[in-house]
Amino acid sequence: MRGLARTVQNMGVQIYENSPVTHWQSGSLRTAKASVRSRWIVPAVEGYSVTLPPLGRYQLPVQSLIVATKPLSAATWDEIGLSRGQAFSEFSRQVTYGQRTADNRLIFGARGGYQFAGKLRHNFDLTRDEVELRRYLFGELFPQLKNVQITHAWGGNLGMSRHFKPHMLCDRANGIALSGGYGGEGVGASNLGGRTLADLILERDTELTQQPWVLPDGGIHALRAWEPEPCRWLGYNAIIKSFVHEDQTLANPATAPWRRKLASQVAGFMEGFMH
């Protein structure tokens, strides 16, 4: 799907492959090969919003990294308590998620990354340290897997809104319909977003258009903008450091109760900046 420009013209979808959109505005967009005029523009670029100003003010790229183990035996799945294909997360403020694949691997994603000024990452050959951090984290949950072979590692850019919640909006005056801010949970939400935008564009009053994430009035400027740099970068790093400190403090059974409480209070306070 890399490099698709999606426009909705006369309510038919036109797709231009292998030629990213370089400029867009109300009523038209441009690629290296063509200019397109359209009543509606639907910029469905998620984590790549920074490439199409001003979208990047409202949706920033963060990186999500994930690993997969070799296929595990039925006995191992029984032992770690996930033999029925359950997906799981953990009670950290940081992102952790895992699930069993159809070919019996554990895939495990954790933590994320933000690059100064919302720079996109293009190389997702994970470094040894990046892979080993994920091994350490799933090894803490499942000690049986500490030395398991990791056969695959990859990642991608995803879009984060300032509210850390998804949004769907339809700016009828300017012919712009936008859905995004899925924050790493967009497989189902992007499908919902597409159906919701279709209803909004066609002026159908449906259950979808009544949902709280729909902004029926106002254009993209109705969305909350990200703070300018270096505030974002400093904020990201301060928040993550407080989360990591909380995780380490709570994971150590020898830590005094007052330290545990303080670590959680500091992390909770820092988390407040995310809302």
Q: Which lies closer to ligand FAD via its Cβ, residue 52 or residue 133?
A: 52
Distance CA 110, CA 113 (A): 10
Residue 17 tokens, joined: 């492959």
Residue 241 C-beta: closest distance to ligand FAD, Å = 23
Q: Which two tokens stand for residue 207?
A: 């259950």
Which CB sits closer to ligand FAD, 7 or 242? Answer: 7
- Residues at the contact surface with ligand FAD, assessed by CB under 6 A: 1-5, 20-21, 44-48, 51-52, 64, 66, 109, 155-156, 158, 182, 184-188, 190
Q: How far is the CB of 67 from ligand FAD (least distance, A)?
A: 10
Nearest distance from C-beta of residue 129 to ligand FAD, angstroms: 17
Residue 6 or 245 having the CB closest to ligand FAD: 6
Q: Which two structure tokens, joined as six digits, stand for 217?
A: 């009035």
Report in angstroms how near the CB of residue 268 gets to ligand FAD at its nearest.
26
Q: How many helices (H) and strands (E) does the chain have?
A: 5, 14
CB of 50 to ligand FAD, least distance (A): 9
Q: Which is nearer to ligand FAD, 36 or 44 (CB)?
A: 44
Q: What CA–CA distance (Å, rounded) separates 263 from 275?
A: 20
| Rounded Cα gap, residues 230 and 181, in angstroms | 21
Can you read off the two tokens belonging to residue 11? Answer: 């309510």
Q: What is the DSSP string of 239-269?
A: HHHHHHHHHHHHH-TTS-HHHHHHHHHHHHH
Give SS3 for 59: strand
Closer CB to ligand FAD, residue 43 or residue 246? 43
Buried b (16+ CB within 10 A) or exposed e, 229-253: eeebeebbeebbebbebbbebbeee
Smaller CB distance to ligand FAD: residue 59 or 242? 59
The answer to whether the beta carbons of residues 199 and 179 sit under 8 Å apart is no
Shortest gap between Cβ of 133 and ligand FAD (angstroms)? Answer: 14
